[in-house]
Chains A and B, each alone.
Chain A
Amino acid sequence: QKEVEQNSGPLSVPEGAIASLNCTYSDRGSQSFFWYRQYSGKSPELIMFIYSNGDKEDGRFTAQLNKASQYVSLLIRDSQPSDSATYLCAVNTKDSNYQLIWGAGTKLIIKP
């Protein structure tokens, strides 16, 4: 059973601080990793994707991948109240025919 685990939260972060979201996955064959943001009642919206070990930065967002430890994280710098949402980690694996395996999501609350 391939699993993606996330702390459900809520994670409360003061405005302007760095929010750190973590995700672990069980399948070592996982090949690509995605962070989606989901506002209540809305569809998942892609924030970042990462394929290789290391860091990938896009604006205020940084995705970090460590395949040896099987974790992927998302850092949000200068957190804004509009960043308050549920962040979903999703993983593509060849064995699952490349369909996304989803974590349950971490609810992030940015406090003004």
Chain B
Amino acid sequence: EPEVTQTPSHQVTQMGQEVILRCVPISNHLYFYWYRQILGQKVEFLVSFYNNEISEKSEIFDDQFSVERPDGSNFTLKIRSTKLEDSAMYFCASKRDRNTEAFFGQGTRLTVV
């Protein structure tokens, strides 16, 4: 069964460092998303991506965040200068169509120290 894959599963980084979180969405899906979930809190939308551009982003997705789809398969989230409060689980999701269900990757646990 097709699935969304994310790497790495766990990333520890020092404050101020750049991190890149990687995702491979399901191959025939067209809509891609990044969400994050701080421990014990609700899932928060970060950004949606369609047709090689950002379609929507939340207030959380400020200038330190960027997304790319560098080739036909990967979808990356870059955090330029990490802060302690960026520590969270980051989930990538993809959808076939905009009104269909989203399938999630297993997440990357980011720990900023």
Contact = CB atoms under 8 A, between A and B. Distances in A.
Interface of B is mostly: strand
Interface of A is mostly: strand
Contact-residue bracket for chain B: 20 to 34
Contact of A100 (B102, B106, B107, B109): B102
Contacts of A99: 33, 45, 48, 56
A19 B43 CA distance: 23
A40 to B, nearest CB: 10
Interface in B85-101: 89, 91, 95, 98-101
A92 interface: yes
Contact-residue bracket for chain A: 20 to 34
B104 A45 contact: yes
Interface of A: 31-32, 34, 36, 41-46, 49, 88, 90, 92, 96-105
Interface of B: 31, 33, 41-45, 48, 55-56, 89, 91, 95, 98-107, 109
